[in-house]
Amino acid sequence: MWATQRFAAAVDAAHPDTAPPLVALYQTTANVLSVKTTWGFAMSRASSTNPEVASLHSTVRDTCERLFRRACEAGVLRPDVDIPWTRRVYYALIHEAAQNRDDKDTDALATLVVDTLLRGAGTPHPERL
């Protein structure tokens, strides 16, 4: 439970509802990666059947989706992006970054996650844009 509380506090500390969306996205990513790389084992043991844990995860999910809506409005994300799908992809990127650090520090991992989320891995083709 305490690891989940640290996770939720890390999200709140990034001011996702008030900081500029790109700043909030980066800071949320860095904060969450810091918790996941430090307390990952404890977080993996937090039971989603525990009502408090489930409530915190729901709150974080809602906060993330609000941040992504703000990012759409600010032009950081495309206005037509599927927010629930993008949130799940974002979570997967964070999980992979935390599991496969390759000696990168938290800031480098956060930059990699945000860059991958915003730009993907493909090359831009004007005819597809």
78 phi, psi to nearest 5 deg: -60, 145
The alpha carbon of residue 107 and the mean position of all alpha carbons in its chain are separated, in whole angstroms, by 13
Q: Would you say the C-alpha torsion 43, 1, 14, 61 has a positive or negative sign?
A: positive
Question: For residue 11, which of 20, 3, 22, 29 has the smallest C-alpha distance?
Answer: 29
Give the residue with greater pLDDT, 3 vs 100: 100
The alpha carbon of residue 61 and the mean position of all alpha carbons in its chain are separated, in whole angstroms, by 9
pLDDT attached to residue 84: 95
Ordered by start, the domain boundaries in the chain are: 2-119
The answer to whether 53 and 4 are in contact (CB under 8 A) is yes
Per-residue pLDDT, averaged over 28-56, amounts to 77
pLDDT attached to residue 42: 47
The answer to whether 38 and 60 are in contact (CB under 8 A) is no
Domain spanning 2-119: CATH 1.10.357.10: yes
